[in-house]
Amino acid sequence: MKKVYDNAADALDGLLFDGMLIAAGGFGLCGIPELLIDGIVDAGTKDLTVASNNAGVDDFGLGKLLATRQIKKMISSYVGENAEFMRQYLSGELELEFNPQGTLAERMRAGGAGIPGFYTKTGVGTVIAEGKEHKEFEGETYILERGIAADISIVKAWKADDTGNLVFRKTARNFNPPAATCGKVCIAEVEEIVPRGSIDPDLIHLPGIYVHRLIQGEHEKRIEQRTVRAA
């Protein structure tokens, strides 16, 4: 099975359609699939629902898809650092499904494991719980959360072999593994593709069985906020 593609456009070919659900890895601007996001911008696919911790910044990451009005709904934990996100949400142009970060990660993991739903105490008694099934276990109240099963997953890793085994770099692992598993098709972008067998099996963070398409490219790795002090 061919997994390595020349570029983002080729890797996304035949997978995109209006109204689809996309799971995207990354946290802030750390470990985001920036090349694949650019590919979706170029494709012009619209009415997207995107499950991601946040939506990048105004001119980078998923913020580019907000700027082009291609996203209809975000399933997110954190919506700061993005003025356009705030503007679209407050004006009613963008739907938002708020999730605690742990709940969002578990919804992705559950979807990837074939688990349609799970109960959690997180969010009980808040707006997060509104409209959701409540159930008691041993005297404690829990709410039902649904697993996320996306049409595609887009993730960023440090390196891979040609079978799709992935290694993430430090905190760039973040939401990428659970996001990768919950898509019907997972596309990964990496900084380096190494020969098969050169990655120690004990160092593989995500087995290639979850990865269907793979590209290598150059990444900007922009810093979301830089705090410095005078010399």
Does residue 211 sit within a domain? yes
Does residue 135 sit within a domain? no
To the nearest whole number, what is the mean pLDDT of the chain? 96
Using an 8 Å Cβ cutoff, are 51 and 75 in contact? yes
Does residue 198 sit within a domain? yes
Residues with Cβ < 8 Å from 32, sequence gap 6 or more?
24, 25, 26, 56, 61, 62, 156
List pLDDT tens digits, range 77-109. Answer: 988 778 999 999 999 999 999 999 999 999 999
List pLDDT tens digits, range 56-69. Answer: 898 899 999 999 99
Does residue 143 sit within a domain? no
User: CATH number of the domain that 206 lies in?
Assistant: 3.40.1080.10
Secondary structure of the chain in HEC code, one letter for each residue: CCCECCCHHHHHCCCCCCCCEEEECCECCECCCHHHHHHHHHHCCCCEEEECCCCCECCECCHHHHHCCCEEEEEECCCCCCHHHHHHHHCCCCEEEECCHHHHHHHHHHHHCCCCEEEECCCCCCHHHCCCCEEEECCEEEEEEECCCEEEEEEEEEEEECCCCEECCHHHHCCHHHHHHCEEEEEEEEEEEECCCCCCHHHCCECHHHCCEEEECCCCCCCCCCCCCCC
Does residue 93 sit within a domain? yes
List pLDDT tens digits, range 21-42. Answer: 999 999 989 999 999 999 999 9
List pLDDT tens digits, range 115-163. Answer: 999 999 999 999 999 999 999 999 999 999 999 999 999 999 999 999 9
pLDDT of residue 26: 96
Does residue 224 sit within a domain? no
Nearest 5 degrees, angle CA 228-CA 229-CA 230?
130
Structural domain boundaries enclosing 94:
8-115+149-216
With 80 as the cut, is the pLDDT of residue 4 above it? yes
Does residue 27 sit within a domain? yes
List pLDDT tens digits, range 164-207. Answer: 999 999 999 999 999 999 999 999 999 999 999 999 999 999 99
Token pair in block for residue 164: 């799709």
Domains identified in the chain, total number: 1
Does residue 1 sit within a domain? no
